[in-house]
Structure 1
Amino acid sequence: MEGKNQKDATMTPLSAVVEAFEEMAKLLKSRKEDQQLRLDTFCEACSLVSVFFGCLGLAFKFAESEYLSKIRDLEEGSKTYNTLQDIINADVENKREAASRAYQQVWAQYHRWSVRTAVAAGMCTLPAREKLLVKLKETDSSAEKKMRRYISAADTLIEYIDSRYLSKNISLDW
């Protein structure tokens, strides 16, 4: 246990994200078709990503707030639903897809504009690459290696989530 605490104390934020996502990817790759990803595990790994918003500067505070709100909703859901599949099933039963589609048809165009505008403004305040790496406690080389690992692990998770929605005949527009 002491060795793990020492490792955690020296781990950079990017390392923590990469390891959490790789662990989930490894779990998903090793599982049989009927085994599922625990919602609390998914939430814990996703919550680690929020550190990046702070590194991007004040202009991305809105994105961090929205992201953390979604994570809190999922964490709250994990008190009722054990797995990601369980919460997707509940979404289907609650007709959230219909509500989501109605939102997309009526309001999303306005929300997208505001988000696009905020992102465009935020791009002007992004820290330089070197400053971002310092904030993340990474070098060019270490960040590149870890991001490649993260992307690989995230691909596995995205495929898993896609398959859960597609198994319910819910199309994803991403």
Structure 2
Amino acid sequence: MAESKTEKPLRKISDSFMELAVTVTAQSGDMEVAPFSHACSLVSPLFGCLGIAFKFAEMDYVAKVDDLAEASKSIMTLTAMIDRDVRGNSVKKAGSHTRNLLRVKRGLDMVKVLFEQIIVTEGNSLKDPASKAYAQVFAPHHGWAIRKAVAAGMYALPTKAQLLQKLNEDETTARIQMQNYVTASAPVILYIDKLFHSRQLGVDW
């Protein structure tokens, strides 16, 4: 049990995304699937910490990240992965790596908005930050039933203090790590968006 007390999930997340950001901002940056899927897997516990409201996101996200990790054994880069699906005419098919990448990117985006909102929101409640993040990133893609379930789940969110306790951070260190993730994830998310747009695939499906 001593292990879990010293685990710093936020630090691991921000460190791994800072490494990815360096890759994509390098001139020849072509992101490899393996480090990307590994960094994304570090984000998974965050959804679990948010409780029932984001249970759907956790289950969906974890499954999609697992698929990308599996794909990384035979496909080197995200570019190659998307191009393979484009050639196979399977981009938008359920279960395709490209479709799963889009869903994972959405999860990263939601966490980015959530962290941005937590940083600027006073008080101990996560309801506002979580509601704004959900409304901005996920709600446009969800049907009425899921939106209603999420709205109900918002009342069961942990407090900010409870979340930080689960993440083994205090207010000051958490703020630094959250800001690091916000800064580092921005070019990574933009890079993935560009991969989709440059192939006329769009990101709203």
TM (normalized to structure 2)?
Answer: 0.69
Q: 1:11 to 1:56 in 2, by over 3 A?
A: same
Shift of 1:59: 4.3
2:32–2:76 contact (8 Å) kept in structure 1: yes
Where in structure 1 are there 5+ consecutive unaligned residues? Answer: 1-8, 101-108
Distance 1:98 1:39 in 2: 19
Q: Any idea what the Cα deviations from partners look like across 1:97-138, whole Å, max 9, x if unmatched?
A: 4557xxxxxxxx995323312321221110011111111111
> What letter is aligned with 1:54?
G
Which protein is bigger by CA-based radius of gyration? 1
Q: Which digits, 9 at most, give the CA deviation of each residue in 1:50-74, with x for residues without a partner?
A: 1112211244333211111101111
Q: CA 1:167/1:138 → structure 2, altered by over 3 Å: closer, same or farther?
A: same
Q: Residues 98 and 72 (structure 1 numbering): CA distance in 2 closer, same or farther, change over 3 Å?
A: closer
1:158 aligns with 2:189: yes
Name the counterpart of 1:125. Answer: 156
SS at 1:150 equivalent? helix
Secondary structure class of the residue paired with 1:74: helix
> Secondary structure of 1:124's match?
helix
- Residues 1:39 and 2:33 are matched in the alignment: yes
In structure 2, distance between residues paired with 1:92 and 1:138: 43
Alignment of 1:9-158 (within 5 A): 10=6, 12-32=8-28, 35-97=29-91, 99=93, 111-158=142-189
Q: Number of residue pairs matched?
A: 156
Scaled by the length of structure 1, what TM-score is found?
0.80
| 3-state secondary structure, aligned to 1:96 | coil
> Root-mean-square deviation (CA), in Å?
2.3
Contact 2:47–2:58, Cα closer than 8 Å, also in 1 = yes
Which amino acid in 2 is paired with 1:27? T
Equivalent pairs: percent with the same residue? 40
In the alignment, residue 166 of structure 2 is paired with which amino acid? K
Segments of structure 2 that go 5 or more residues without pairing to the other structure are 95-139
Amino acid corresponding to residue 147 of structure 2 in structure 1? R
